[in-house]
Amino acid sequence: MLQRIVKPLLLLVLIVQTGRTYATEGMWLPQLLSTLNEKEMKGMGMKINASDIYNINKGSLKDAIVSFGGFCTAEVISNQGLLLTNHHCGYDAIQKHSTLQNNFLENGFWAKSAVEELPNPGLTATFIVRIDDVTKSALQDVKGGMSEKERQSAIDKRLNEIKQTVRKESWQDVMVKPFFEGNQYFLFVTETYKDVRLVGAPPSSIGKFGSDTDNWVWPRHTGDFSMFRIYAGKDGRPAPYSGDNVPLKPKYALPISMKGVKQNDFTMVLGFPGRTNEYLPSEGVKQTVEVLDAAKVEMRDAALKIMDGYMRKDAQIKIQYAAKYAGTANYWKKWMGEMQGVKQTNGIGKKQQYEAEYKQLLQANPVWKQQYAGTLDSLNGYYRQIQPYAQARDYYSELVKNVELFTASDRLISFLNDVHERGEGQFETLRQQFLESMQPFYQNYNAKVDHDICISLMDIYAKGVPKQYAGNEYQQIWIENNKDGRTLADQLYASSGLTSMDKLKSFIQQPYNTVVAQMWKDPATHLVMAMRKGFVENVSKPLSDIQSSINNLQRTYMQAQMDVMAGKKRFYPDANSTLRVTYGKVDGYNPRDAIHYDFYTYLDGVMEKYIPGDYEFDVPAKLIELYKKKDYGRYGVNGKMPVCFIGSNHSTGGNSGSPALDAYGHLVGLNFDRTWEGTMSDINYDPSICRNIMVDIRYVLFIVDKYAGCTRLIDEMKLVN
Ligand code: ARG
Ligand code: ASP
């Protein structure tokens, strides 16, 4: 019996497998799609052409995509410059407009008309006008045997020339970035709009539903979106904020599909992924997860527990620390997922196998052998060498980042350095600027919370960083405080002049020379300078020497992989905050033995998770009412309201707010996260479990229309059936 069904079964398996030979790994450059990807994309179901995605002669999809503030992506969804991005991308802006009385984070915000749209100084939206390959001219003066420094300055010289002579309009900007570890260079002509106003945001109980518990997790039920609008000068060009500015008339606005997606449907995500490291050698992957992620997780674990304790008890602290908490928790959790994912998929073992295969092919080819022999081994060797320094760096930077008294000291030191460099005559002006810049810092600062964080983190730092790296002066202070975080923190917070805005003001109201003299005596600043000195003397010099050898070898190894492994793997450049296209299919996955995850979630799931009054899982009354009445308008399907879905699009941090487009280039979802098992996709993409998470666009529309009643926004959009 068994024998007889084996054959047809085998055939079936083969068909299924060949049906799946598309590759979803990769963040591709939009201008190269027609040569590298178009055929495959069409094979996977795409109905438009590469030239509809990137075109410099007419409006194309890329003209609807902006880098949002440099940290997220957003897209234009109406011909009046309406922008869609994530709630967590707009979070800072929403928070800044919030007060206890008028809490937009908690209650949401909807501008009922254009005059109510709120300006956000400093927030920008950058379009990509054109991308050019400038590799040849950039590398023109590079010669073998140059040091990293010499090489870089030869390149910089050329890049300066290129930037000066590039064809562009006066209001446009230009930037050049290295790709493939510096083997290639591309130039971007960009347009940056500086008047970006807040238009709408759901309450956090929708936009951040599930909060940090659900962050990086599937199944997900978050309506993670917010809306902004780009304003331009009357001539349509970028202009600083002004009441006279007008909504931007974009070159292209994304049509919105009302159809939703099915299993295996083609999807693509356009956006600005920040940083990936897909071509690390095995030692680099090992170090990332086993040493560096572990150190950072340990520090943040402690800081977060303390913040959380206070935030649950105190409404004021909850507002002050909400954004900080979310920011710190985000990568804390991501790194944990990354550690686990690499282990689960045997990421290090697979890299080692890949390296063995690479070496074998290399050995068999005399030309490659001559060019690249030894590169990989040396690179792995340097990674072993850099490890203790990199670990000390990460402990140090996490300490200064998470103990805000140290952050404040750091900023005071920089301010005084600035005065020192520009001359005492500048003291008055710079003092005013410094005080202004510290205002928002102290607005969200609570010395009690910070004191407790300091205790824990100093203890961890002392355990984690070997004496010879931390330095003598720090060591002396540590010994004077009985090598005890609490003793040290008690003393710091009792007598430092940096624990409140008032203290800081009276401290720096004194004459320049007194401030400088007292700065040395302030215990917090004194400690920070001691630690900084230890770091600079014992860590940063060796670190940057080894790092420069690594950069050099990593570049050679990149080229070597592209030559030697050409038939085995398709190479795409690591993410570097430039515009990319990634594509995949709507699909579930099996995270663990016997568990399957479906690819869609519904409003029913929101109600399953609902915990009345909870700070993560509360549901607004109005939404419950709509759910009970099944009042989904034209946005529901078969009596259900879709919320989120997943697909195999290769994304990373920075892709948040990116549009998910269907085969026709119509907006079907809004990217905002990845699944827990797959957060290691930044160093070890694995198609079996790496999935991106998107909000269904119909849920976004449903919230805007039925929940918030902000129909004026729906009327601007182009909905297609
Ligand atoms: N993990 C997502 C990303 O990296 C969302 C983060 C915001 N959400 C949160 N609960 N902290 O940006
Ligand atoms: N949530 C991330 C972002 O903000 C996206 C990701 O890492 O998948 O960009």
Using the 3D structure, point to which of 536, 562, 588 is the last residue of a domain.
562
Q: Are 309 and 325 in contact (CB under 8 A)?
A: no
DSSP 574: P
Q: Give the pLDDT of residue 608.
A: 98
Ligand nearest to the CA of 72: 2
Q: Which atom of ligand 1 is nearest to the CA of 656?
A: 12
- Substitution site in 224, 275, 580, 672 for ligand 2 pocket (most atoms within 8 Å of beta carbon): 672
CA of 516 to the centre of ligand 2 (A): 42
Q: Are 228 and 83 in contact (CB under 8 A)?
A: yes
Residue 124 and residue 197: Cα distance in Å, rounded? Answer: 10
- Same-domain check for residues 108 and 242: yes
Residue 342 corresponds to which amino acid? V
What 603-609 contacts at long range (C-beta under 8 Å, 24+ apart), as own/partner pairs, is 603/221, 603/627, 603/640, 603/641, 603/643, 603/699, 604/640, 605/219, 605/221, 605/643, 606/209, 606/221, 606/643, 609/209, 609/210, 609/214, 609/221
Tokens 């699009």, residue located: 649
Angle at 362 between CA 356 and CA 368, to 5 degrees: 150
Q: Give the pLDDT of residue 21.
A: 54
Tokens 């069904």, residue located: 5
Q: What pLDDT, in 10s, does the model give residues 337-381?
A: 999 999 999 999 999 999 999 999 999 999 999 999 999 999 999
Residue 581 and residue 30: Cα distance in Å, rounded? Answer: 6
Q: Which atom of ligand 2 is nearest to the CA of 693?
A: 8
Cβ-count burial of 486 within 10 angstroms (0-12 exposed, 13-18 middle, 19+ buried)? middle
Give the number of C-alpha atoms closer than 13 A to the C-alpha of residue 633, restricted to the C-beta side. Answer: 16
Q: Give the pLDDT of residue 441.
A: 95
- Same-domain check for residues 239 and 172: yes
CA of 489 to the centre of ligand 1 (A): 31
Kindly list the protein residues whose Cβ atom lies closer than 6 A to any atom of ligand 1. 88, 208, 211-212, 215-216, 326, 329-330, 653, 656, 672-673
Q: Is residue 338 part of a domain?
A: yes
- Substitution site in 91, 214, 651, 695 for ligand 2 pocket (most atoms within 8 Å of beta carbon): 651
- Same-domain check for residues 530 and 448: yes
- Same-domain check for residues 93 and 234: yes
Q: Which atom of ligand 2 is nearest to the CA of 274?
A: 9
Nearest Cα residue to atom 2 of ligand 1: 673
Q: Is residue 611 part of a domain?
A: no
- Same-domain check for residues 313 and 354: yes
- Same-domain check for residues 400 and 288: yes
CA of 86 to the centre of ligand 1 (A): 10
Which residues of 135-233 form beta strands (DSSP E)? 173-179, 184-193, 195-201, 226-232
| Adjacent-strand bridge partners of 695 | 644, 670
Q: Are 135 and 154 in contact (CB under 8 A)?
A: no
- Same-domain check for residues 256 and 304: no
- Substitution site in 94, 215, 272, 680 for ligand 1 pocket (most atoms within 8 Å of beta carbon): 215
> Residue 219: is the preceding peptide bond cis (ω within 30°)?
yes
- Same-domain check for residues 319 and 464: yes
Q: Is the CB of 652 under 6 A from ligand 2?
A: yes
Q: Give the pLDDT of residue 18.
A: 39
What domain range includes position 507? 282-562
Q: How far is residue 185 from each of residues 62, 136, 159, 161, 578, measured CA to CA in Å? A: 20, 8, 9, 14, 12
Distance separating the N- and C-terminal Cα atoms of the chain: 50
In 10 A of CB 133, how many CB atoms?
15
Q: Is the CB of 673 under 6 A from ligand 2?
A: yes
CA of 228 to the centre of ligand 1 (A): 19
Ligand nearest to the CA of 671: 2
- Same-domain check for residues 107 and 165: yes
Nearest Cα residue to atom 2 of ligand 2: 653
Q: Which atom of ligand 2 is nearest to the CA of 89?
A: 4
- Classify 443 as helix, strand or coil: helix
Residue 485 and residue 614: Cα distance in Å, rounded? Answer: 33
CA of 320 to the centre of ligand 2 (A): 23
Question: How far is residue 634 CA from its own chain's centroid?
Answer: 34
Q: Which atom of ligand 2 is nearest to the CA of 655?
A: 9
Phi, psi torsion values for 518, nearest 5 degrees: -75, -30
Q: Which atom of ligand 1 is nearest to the CA of 216?
A: 1
Q: Which atom of ligand 1 is nearest to the CA of 215?
A: 10
Q: Considering Cα of 527, then 533, then 534, then 535, what sign does the dihedral take?
A: positive
Q: Are 345 and 592 in contact (CB under 8 A)?
A: no
Angle at 633 between CA 631 and CA 634, to 5 degrees: 150
Q: Give the pLDDT of residue 14.
A: 39
Residue 174 and residue 188: Cα distance in Å, rounded? Answer: 6
Q: How far is residue 117 from each of residues 206, 343, 710, measured CA to CA in Å? A: 21, 47, 13
Q: Is the CB of 654 under 6 A from ligand 2?
A: yes
Residue 188 corresponds to which amino acid? F
Q: Which residues of the chain have pLDDT under 50?
A: 1-20
Q: Are 222 and 644 in contact (CB under 8 A)?
A: yes
Residue 310 and residue 302: Cα distance in Å, rounded? Answer: 13
Ligand nearest to the CA of 217: 1
Using the 3D structure, point to which of 534, 562, 590 is the last residue of a domain.
562
Question: How far is residue 610 CA from its own chain's centroid?
Answer: 29
Q: Is residue 21 part of a domain?
A: no
Q: Is residue 104 part of a domain?
A: yes
Give the number of C-alpha atoms closer than 13 A to the C-alpha of residue 464, restricted to the C-beta side. Answer: 25
Residue 702 and residue 687: Cα distance in Å, rounded? Answer: 32
Q: Which of 478, 503, 318, 477 is nearest to 405 (CA)?
A: 503
Structure tokens at 504: 């800081």
Nearest Cα residue to atom 6 of ligand 1: 330
Q: Is the CB of 655 under 6 A from ligand 2?
A: yes
- Same-domain check for residues 325 and 366: yes
Q: Is the CB of 555 under 6 A from ligand 2?
A: no
Q: Give the pLDDT of residue 9.
A: 43
Q: Is residue 372 part of a domain?
A: yes
Using the 3D structure, point to which of 538, 562, 586 is the last residue of a domain.
562
- Substitution site in 646, 656, 676 for ligand 2 pocket (most atoms within 8 Å of beta carbon): 656
CA of 667 to the centre of ligand 1 (A): 21
Q: Is residue 406 part of a domain?
A: yes
The domain total for the chain is: 2
CA of 672 to the centre of ligand 2 (A): 6
Ligand nearest to the CA of 324: 1
Q: Is residue 30 part of a domain?
A: no
Nearest Cα residue to atom 4 of ligand 2: 656
Nearest Cα residue to atom 5 of ligand 2: 653
Cβ-count burial of 491 within 10 angstroms (0-12 exposed, 13-18 middle, 19+ buried)? middle
Residue 197 and residue 200: Cα distance in Å, rounded? Answer: 9
Q: Is the CB of 656 under 6 A from ligand 2?
A: yes
Q: Are 30 and 577 in contact (CB under 8 A)?
A: no
Q: Which residues are catalytic?
A: 88, 224, 656
- Same-domain check for residues 187 and 303: no
CA of 215 to the centre of ligand 1 (A): 6
Axis crossing angle, helix 148-165 with helix 541-564, rounded to the nearest 10? 70
Ligand nearest to the CA of 215: 1
Residue 494 and residue 501: Cα distance in Å, rounded? Answer: 15
CA of 126 to the centre of ligand 1 (A): 22
Cβ-count burial of 699 within 10 angstroms (0-12 exposed, 13-18 middle, 19+ buried)? buried
- Substitution site in 577, 644, 671, 673 for ligand 2 pocket (most atoms within 8 Å of beta carbon): 673
Nearest Cα residue to atom 1 of ligand 2: 673
CA of 83 to the centre of ligand 2 (A): 18
Q: Are 44 and 583 in contact (CB under 8 A)?
A: yes
CA of 218 to the centre of ligand 1 (A): 13
- Substitution site in 652, 683, 685 for ligand 2 pocket (most atoms within 8 Å of beta carbon): 652
Ligand nearest to the CA of 656: 2
- Same-domain check for residues 290 and 438: yes
- Classify 22 as helix, strand or coil: coil
Q: Give the pLDDT of residue 422.
A: 95
Q: How far is residue 110 from each of residues 470, 672, 709, 710, measured CA to CA in Å? A: 50, 21, 9, 7
Q: Is residue 143 part of a domain?
A: yes
Q: How far is residue 24 from each of residues 127, 347, 712, measured CA to CA in Å? A: 26, 18, 38
Q: Give the pLDDT of residue 322.
A: 87
Cβ-count burial of 719 within 10 angstroms (0-12 exposed, 13-18 middle, 19+ buried)? middle
Q: How far is residue 40 from each of residues 24, 509, 584, 688, measured CA to CA in Å? A: 10, 65, 11, 19
Residues in the chain: 721
Q: Which helix (H) or strand (E) holds 645?
A: strand 642-647
